[in-house]
Amino acid sequence: MSADTVGMQTLPAESTTSLAALSLPGALQHQGQGGTCSVSVAASYVASLGFESGRASMRSAFIRAAGILAPSQEGYTWHEASMLPWHCLDGISAAGLRAVLASQVEGGKTAPATANRIMAAVRGALRFAWRFNMISRDDADRAADALTSFSGSRPPAGRHIDRGEMAALFAALAADDAKAARRDAAVFALMAVGMRRAEVAGLDLGSIDQQTWHVQIAGKGGKIRRVHLSNGARLAVEHYLASRGSEPGALFQARHGQRMTAQAMRLALQRRCRAACIAAVSPHDFRRTFAGEALSRGIDLPTVQAIMGHERPQTTSRYDRRPEQTRMQAMEAVCIPYLAPGKAA
């Protein structure tokens, strides 16, 4: 669903919140309506986003921003944060939000990427408000221009799954005769060839061509890509399909025939890691590992980028979590013809 086709989400009149006392001048004050707002710009913007993981991230960002702009001892739920009149944020208050985030980043309390995501959420709400003629373009630009991104980063999240751990995980699944084990093995195999868990959860039986073994994937922003399955990934899916049956619908199903959610896949991975006696692995660690392993085998960066569905090669490069030993080996391969003094031929 695109931003152009999403309507403004209206909130019931009794749900609106008064914002009379705020810590930042002018922050979120709805002029002429006593500090209340019956239209949720934030909810409308979040609803326009393609992936539930992205929507969850933005909901969290708005909650964080609300806690800075309109502090509350009880904190905010998403519903409460979404009711705030974000389209009334002015340039001064936007600058105040960034100043608080800057202090948190400098103090190590907030990662630069997290602060940037919070500001991106607010900028998105302002763009939505302008699109629906709730504010002028100049007002939107003034507030958005104050929310410039931070540079720098913390050490990257996640890790590389070594081959021993990967083998132990799939060995534990092979030892389990339950149908759920075949399903989980296929889920993890698809993640291990670079698919996002939301993409895996969104697959239907018809997404896989069982003649060519190509998988059609609906990625972020509705972008479609095709990935070819081979070796272990293909076998895992083949074995699962033999037990699943040929009924159309969601490829991966929970107990009662409902589509297996991305959250259920994460929880299944946690259980399977414990059963295999390996350190915790996140679904995204499979993508990170795929990037590192593919690059180690000499696959060029644009090809890895295309398989993973990244818009920019820089994003793919950031996924590389290969251990320091890999970098050391790369340096050993570089020959510098240095000669000590007096050793020249």
Q: Are residues 126 and 229 in the same domain?
A: no
Pinpoint the alpha helices (H) of the chain.
41-47, 52-69, 78-82, 91-106, 112-131, 137-145, 163-174, 179-192, 197-201, 231-244, 262-275, 283-296, 301-308, 313-318, 324-332
Q: Are residues 293 and 180 in the same domain?
A: yes
Name the domain boundary from 111, 145, 179: 145
Q: Are residues 281 and 174 in the same domain?
A: yes
Residue-wise pLDDT for 148-202, tens only, equals 988 866 556 778 888 899 999 999 999 998 999 999 999 999 999 999 999 999 9
150 is a domain residue: no
- 306 by Cβ neighbours in 10 Å (0-12 / 13-18 / 19+) ranks as middle
337 is a domain residue: no
Q: Are residues 247 and 181 in the same domain?
A: yes
Residue recorded with tokens 């031929």: 345
Residue 222 near residue 54, CB atoms below 8 Å: no
Q: Are residues 49 and 132 in the same domain?
A: yes
Residue 205 near residue 194, CB atoms below 8 Å: no
Q: Are residues 168 and 314 in the same domain?
A: yes
From first to last of its 345 residues, the chain has per-residue pLDDT tens of 333 333 444 433 333 333 333 334 344 443 333 344 446 888 889 988 877 778 888 999 999 999 998 888 788 899 889 888 898 888 888 999 999 999 998 888 888 889 999 999 999 999 989 988 888 999 899 898 999 988 866 556 778 888 899 999 999 999 998 999 999 999 999 999 999 999 999 999 999 999 999 999 988 877 899 999 988 899 999 999 999 988 999 999 998 889 999 999 999 999 999 999 999 999 999 988 888 888 878 888 888 888 888 888 887 777 776 666 666 665 666 666 655 676 655
**Percent of the chain with pLDDT strictly greater than 70:** 80
CATH number, domain with residue 286: 1.10.443.10
Q: At what angle do helices 91-106 and 137-145 cross, to 10 degrees?
A: 20
Domain span including residue 280: 163-322
For residue 231, which phi and psi values (nearest 5 degrees)?
35, -125
The closest of 51, 296, 305, 285 to 156, measured between CA atoms, is 285
What total number of domains does the chain contain?
Answer: 2
Q: Are residues 316 and 231 in the same domain?
A: yes
